Structures are given as C-alpha cells and as structure tokens.
Amino acid sequence: GQNIDQPTEMTATEGAIVQINCTYQTSGFNGLFWYQQHAGEAPTFLSYNVLDGLEEKGRFSSFLSRSKGYSYLLLKELQMKDSASYLCAVLDSNYQLIWGAGTKLIIKP
Amino acid sequence: TAGITQAPTSQILAAGRSMTLRCTQDMRHNAMYWYRQDLGLGLRLIHYSNTAGTTGKGEVPDGYSVSRANTDDFPLTLASAVPSQTSVYFCASSDSRTADEQFFGPGTRLTVL
C-alpha cells in the first residue's frame, strides 16, 4: 500500500529552527509537496521537490532524497504565525496526490 | 481575485437526506478535485476532473458523485448521507493534473446526524 509518515506534533521556540520529517512509500514518484494549513483554514502551497537536494525559499527550505524515500521541511527564524499543520504529499505514478496526516507545529514564545 | 469558493460554509444534515456541495473557481484551471479531511487522517481524494466533461474516482468515492459541465464548476453530491460522511470537504483546482500546485477553497464543514 501507499504510506506517508510524518510526526503528529512538534514544539519549537520562537526564533529557533525546526525540521519536520516525512518518509514515504508510494507506487511511483512524480514529486513531493509541502503545504501549510492553519487551524480552520485551507491548505496553502509551500514547496515542490522532484529532484534530490535542497530547495530554499526565504525562511523555508525543503529537502528530498528519492533513494531514501525521505524529505524534510526546514523552518528558520520561527515566528508565532508559523504555528500551523504542515502537510507532506507525494504525487504517485497515476499523478494522484497521496497525503500524510500532517504535523502540528506549536511555537512557544 | 476570488480563486475558489465553496458553499455552504457549514451544514448539518439529517441522515438519508441528499445534499450538493458547490465549488466554483475563476482561475480557468483544467483540473479540479474534491477531498475530505478527517482528524488524524491525511486529505483523501473523493473524485477528480482532469478537464471539463470528464471525471474520475479517487480513493474514497463511494456515496459521492460529481459532474463537470463547465470549466468553473465542480459540484459534489451526497445522494443519501450517512454519519460517516461527517467531515470537512475541500475543493481544489490546478492548472493540470500533473505536478502543478493545487489551490484550495475554504472548505465546507458537514455534520450528518
């Protein structure tokens, strides 16, 4: 079967750095997405990786290792507004997005 | 730009009743999707449409139907609601059903009693 694993919840301090991991087992791979979802709101796009390596976009970076079935989202200089759930999703061989359950990130002052 | 709109925002429905959740996008995207989101589970695809006039089944299609008569609208119908269909429903769209990012509507919170 297809599976996306990510931690259920993480806590970090304002101004610090946090890394949210995602491991996946899917039938085929056409890229990996990270979305941010604030409580009660819709998911919004953060990043897309299809090749191995690190993609940096401001305070957020996303890393992919296809051979290990592994990705992480790195958030730097954490702000209180970064408190949200972070969703990892893999595009499989049928171009269907398989979603993880999300990681709830709690930022403390 | 409105992006994607969904209606209603929330609804309480008696079991056995039918209901249509509405979704409209103004981005001229070809692909549209319906997901349900339940606590502790990832988003699950119910139905999708690659382009106007075509639809396909996702991971959890039973009990739901869709139509795509034009580019902008993608309604989701529950023919006879059951309590297990209590969920938050998100409509999304993307330029194509490949590696394009999906844009989500604000969601409809449905409770079936």
Q: Which residues contact A10 (CB under 8 A, 6 or more apart)?
A: A18, A20, A103, A104, A105, A106
CA distance B105 to chain A (A): 6
Provide the pLDDT for residue B1: 60
Could you read off the pLDDT of B36-59 as tens digits, one per residue?
A: 999 988 899 999 999 999 999 999
Provide the pLDDT for residue B97: 77
- Work out the pLDDT band at A1, boundaries 50, 70, 90: confident
**CB atoms closer than 10 angstroms to residue B42:** 20
> In terms of C-beta density within 10 A (0-12 exposed, 13-18 middle, 19 or more buried), how is residue B69 classed?
exposed
Cα–Cα distances (Å) from A42 to A85, B39, B62, B104, in that order, read 11, 14, 24, 6
The sign of the dihedral angle between the CA atoms of A2, B50, B86, A11 is positive
C-alpha A31: how far from its chain's center?
Answer: 12
Chain B neighbors of A41, CB-CB under 8 A: 106-107
Nearest by CB to A50, from B97, B99, B102: name it: B99
Could you read off the pLDDT of A12-67 as tens digits, one per residue?
A: 999 999 999 999 999 999 999 999 999 999 999 999 999 999 999 999 999 999 99
Provide the pLDDT for residue B40: 86
